[in-house]
Structure 1
Amino acid sequence: MAEEDQITFKKSKKMDAAVLVVVAFFFAGCVFLILTRPGVDGWNSMSQGGVVEFASIFGATFFGIYAVYMLLQLLRTGAVVSISSKGIFDRRVSTDWVPWSAIRNVSVLNQNWQNGLIFRIDKNKITSLPLRDYQKSIARNNASGAPDEFWIEADSLKGGFGALHAAVNRFHRVVGSW
């Protein structure tokens, strides 16, 4: 049930659609090589049981499976990230709301190819937070020695980084800007 002050983000389908098109192109290319066997009996023929045939079959299998996965990602609906006065709920990272009281600060991660927000959490509250098991492991065993944290990638959300930044800033102070 959505709260009155809850902001919800769905996943943007543009990047998934672009990846699906590229993967389908490579799949079609591999299938084309298998079916037409270019250069048969020529100097550049695809010999039966050769490396090119193996690469084509492997490519068709790999890209076929990945195309099905990307198609399922495109068909997935529903909210990915919700933000409210209770806290933040990123379904990719946690199983329930992470309260603002457990978050020490929020800062901007701005790289050339990816933007997001880093949530630094109180070390004493990590085990009690509803983070997914792999996320708890990452937060506890941060090899860089940095404070315990998790990050939310924003470029794949509808509205992008600007909308996520504004929504989080409405309920919790964000250090840094974009």
Structure 2
Amino acid sequence: MILNDSFCAVDAQPALEEAGNFFFPELVKFTTDITADDGSEGQTEAKESVQKLLKEIPQVKVKNEHEEFLTYVVELLNQLGVLWTNRSRLLRALCYLSAGQKLCDKHKKQDEALAAAQTHAHFYLAQVYGSLGMADESARFCLSTLELQLLQCVNAEGEGALLERMNGCRMR
């Protein structure tokens, strides 16, 4: 599908959630019920209960007949996470991104596309945790993002390209 000028960001939410309802309806319902990050008085309280929320997230499972779509499911979770981050609904974003991260962790056998989706999930999680004021978690995901990027570089390009890339990162 080619996006044209008539496509608006406001149209993204229903389309993404419709796709989400196919692959992970329990998670979509769970996140829809989150109101603690809607700007009401309970927002500070909600930030303090992140761990409780993360324990309650429904597990996303990709059925065997949909296994070929695993990368797309993780990318969908990432897109929903980004959408809700951009709308300052950080707890909803955290749920989607955490579900994507856990799904990647369960599938150790990864191709390049799934590894890239996992790296994006870690990067976005670092941003969300930072916005929630949880510096330690944010730093942990910043580090894991860098580790995943390094692994991708080594796996995809070999050592020579890695050294070249590292040289490009040196301060001049």
- TM-score when normalising by structure 1: 0.22
Q: Which has the higher contact order (CA 8 A, sep 6+)?
A: 1
Task: State the structure with more CA Rg.
Answer: 1
More strand by share: 1
Structure with more helix by fraction:
2
